[in-house]
Amino acid sequence: MNMSDKEACSTVKTVDGDFLSYHLYLWEGLVVVAVNVILVYVIISNSKLRTQKEYLLYAGCIFFDIIFGLTYAIAAVYRFFLAWNNTYFPLFTTYQCILTPHIILFVYITPGAGILVLICSIDRFFGVFFPIKYIKMTTNYVIILFSISFAIPLLMLVAGIVTSSRANTIHNQQATCTTAQGTTADMYMILRLTRVVGSCACAIVYIPIFARIYLASISRGSIMHVRTITGPSPRVSIEELRKSISKKKSGFIQAEQKRFTFKLS
């Protein structure tokens, strides 16, 4: 579609678009998707791995990376298509921008990244401070964990679409569209703050985790030091134990035979 209507188009020619960023978005996204799809396949296709909650946690995080990579790849394809089919960049409303495929995904992953790292850090906290309970947890625990982490950004996406629907009259956004252009100022701030706060909270949660692991390593180091001074604890194999018992038995039998012979004489 070659739009020549001055009211519907900007004055920026599509040939002046940032094609370098389009290429970077495309190839970065494709590489991220390809690598992570392989990793997810390895986990899901292995019956031993997919029944372990730890590997399912990895798979969930990797799946988010796939969405992340798709977001950038789709953004690049969309912008290439826009440039190839227009002489000038069209102008969209804020609402039209948020309905483009890549902005839908950007609005989703922006808070999603912060929420995911926070939930993963809480999982690590639980595993370090309550190891026995953590070991007993089943794969249902992982399903609940990721249901929460993937549902919250989805709700924020719906909120973003609803708030942007009020800005559907003025065509003042270049059709390449960014997250800021597809959302209201307040909603964009909420999305960014969610990501930043989630990441910072994740770092804070890891402080006691680090302290616990550090103290445990010091304690273990002290035990190893004592063992080094006193000598290693003897570890006898079952076979060696059997041989030792056999020798003792044979020695006892020989002693008894000598004692019996002495009495007869």
What pTM value is reported for the model?
0.77
Based on its alpha-carbon atoms, the radius of gyration of the chain, rounded to whole angstroms, reads 32
The token duo for 91 is: 């102008």
Half-sphere exposure of 159 (CA within 13 A, CB side): 14
Contact (Cβ atoms closer than 8 angstroms) between residue 68 and residue 106: no
pLDDT in tens, 246-262: 665 565 556 555 555 55
> What does the alpha-carbon distance between residue 24 and residue 158 come to, in Å, rounded to a whole number?
29
Which backbone phi and psi does 173 adopt, to 5 degrees?
-115, 130
pLDDT in tens, 110-143: 999 999 999 999 999 999 999 899 988 888 999 9
The domain made up of 9-226 has a fold known as Rhopdopsin 7-helix transmembrane proteins (1.20.1070)
Contact (Cβ atoms closer than 8 angstroms) between residue 69 and residue 28: yes
The token duo for 110 is: 């922006």
Q: How many other CB atoms are found less than 10 A from the CB of residue 225?
A: 10
Nearest to 97, CA basis, from 13, 176, 170, 156: 176
> What does the alpha-carbon distance between residue 245 and residue 191 come to, in Å, rounded to a whole number?
72
> What does the alpha-carbon distance between residue 102 and residue 65 come to, in Å, rounded to a whole number?
15
Nearest to 26, CA basis, from 113, 102, 103: 102
Residue 135 CA to its chain's centroid (Å): 20
Q: Going residue by residue through the chain (265 aa), what tens digit of pLDDT does each one get?
A: 444 444 467 677 878 778 899 999 999 999 999 999 999 999 999 988 888 888 999 999 999 999 999 999 999 999 999 988 888 888 899 999 999 999 999 999 999 999 999 999 999 999 999 989 998 888 899 999 999 999 999 999 999 999 999 888 888 888 889 999 999 999 999 999 999 999 999 999 999 999 998 888 887 765 555 454 444 545 545 556 566 666 655 655 565 555 555 555 5
Beta bridge partners of 90: 9
> What does the alpha-carbon distance between residue 69 and residue 90 come to, in Å, rounded to a whole number?
26
Name 121's Cβ contacts closer than 8 Å, sequence gap at least 6: 201, 202, 205, 206, 209
Domain coordinates in residue numbering, the chain: 9-226
Instruction: Give the residue carrying structure tokens 């953004």.
Output: 75
